[in-house]
Amino acid sequence: MGTANKPANVIVGGGIAGAATAYFLTQRGMRDIIILERDHTAGAHSTGRNAAILRTLIAEHLLRHLAREAAEFYRHPPDGFSANPLVDLVGICLVAREEHSRELLDCLGDGQEKGAPKQVPPETVYKRIPQLAPGLTTVLDQSDEGVLDVDAILQAFLIGACRNGAELRTSCEAMKLRVEANNLRGIETSAGFLPASRVVLAMGGWAANLATDAGYPMPLVPYRRHLLVTEPLPQVDRRWPVLWIFGDEFYFRPESGGLLMCGCDAVPVSPEQGEVIDPSQVEGIAAKAARCLPSLSDARVARAWAGMRTFAPDQQFVIGADPRLQGLFWVAGLGGHGITCAPMFGKLAAELIASGGSSHPAAATFAPGRLIQ
């Protein structure tokens, strides 16, 4: 544990980025880790506001490979990691109309990669979800993916880290990096000064703010996205797969007896506005649902919310040491893939922090220095 006099390894943010990083750091034997979480509970923001979908078909090849490795972790977690299954393998169907088929198939590549989905006839998905509007011509089926138990995953990382010596401090906000003569001294927090030999910024949409205020800006931009859940619907089978419609940029899955839906909006916002609902975007989801599921167009909204997905300009993760300030590290810019890729980026971040380098092919691509002018 960190003490008032001994500098600690401080991770700012108790969501999936900070939790996974802390877990794998303790797996490497690092102690004196303190996770700072400004809320009274961890994971209340981007981690707890996502769609909880395990989808590894990602166009960018590096992220796709990380996602597939992470999917194996979730399907077969380490002994003792969690008492609960981490993924419900209802499957995911990625579909498109004729005009968007090439876009979908391009994500598939040559289709020979391990873990790649299989192309199946369109009637396959219509038999499972007869409420779908006609016109789908391309269907990729991934039967070993589905819905993640995000809370179980987050708690497993946090409990595992704390069991191995890390400390989670909730209701403790990081206010300011203390830097003296270009040396990192620690963090000013809402509970007082905390000496730190390392500071890991794992704060989602807020990650860049702390560093920018200290003179170390990073071009990370949060984008707001809306989701909703309908009232319970008798037509919905809770074992339906996740269905993602390319081109329409719309996906849905069963949730709480109804359907969770998203229209894939992406509006740049300040982090303070990232969870503020825009009613027009909720209406946009309903409009897409009416086109794709016309017989369910009169379903009422039970609840709606917004969350943030934070990106670097090149849409690659930002993981590793900041070359401008010794001891400052980033685990940020995870876009929409933070939950999906957490086991892999957490392991990579821990290696970079603990050993100062990595031979992993993602290390250079994700290095923060690429974004510094």
Q: What region, left, alpha or beta, does residue 186 occupy, with left being phi > 0 and alpha being psi -120 to 50 degrees?
A: left
Rounded CA-CA distance 312/172 in Å is 27
pTM, 2 dp: 0.95
Q: Report pLDDT digits (tens) over 331-353.
A: 999 999 999 999 999 999 999 99
Write out pLDDT tens, residues 77-93.
999 999 999 999 999 99
Predicted confidence (pLDDT) at residue 111 exceeds the cutoff of 80: no
Rounded to an integer, what distance in angstroms lies between the CA atom of residue 259 and that of residue 236? 8
pLDDT above 90 covers a percentage of the chain that reads 93
**Nearest-5° Cα angle at 93, 92 to 98:** 160
Q: Read off the pLDDT band of 4 (50, 70, 90).
A: low
What pLDDT is stored for residue 110 in this prediction? 66
CB 143 within 8 A of CB 89: yes
Average pLDDT over residues 146-172: 98
Query: Hey, how many other C-beta atoms are within 10 angstroms of the C-beta on 252?
Result: 28
**Dist CA 272 CA 262 (whole Å):** 21
Q: Place 2 in a pLDDT band, splitting at 50, 70 and 90.
A: very low
Give me the domains of the chain, ranges plus CATH numbers. 8-48+151-219+313-371 (3.50.50.60), 92-143+222-310 (3.30.9.10)
* pLDDT tens digits for range 53-69: 999 999 888 999 999 99
Residue range 167-180: mean pLDDT, rounded: 97
**Least confident window among 87-91, 110-114, 160-164, 358-362:** 110-114
Each residue's pLDDT tens digit, 265-285: 999 999 999 999 999 999 999
> Helices in the chain by DSSP H: which ranges?
16-27, 61-75, 101-108, 122-128, 150-163, 207-213, 279-292, 338-355, 361-366
Q: Which residue has the tokens 């309903």?
A: 286
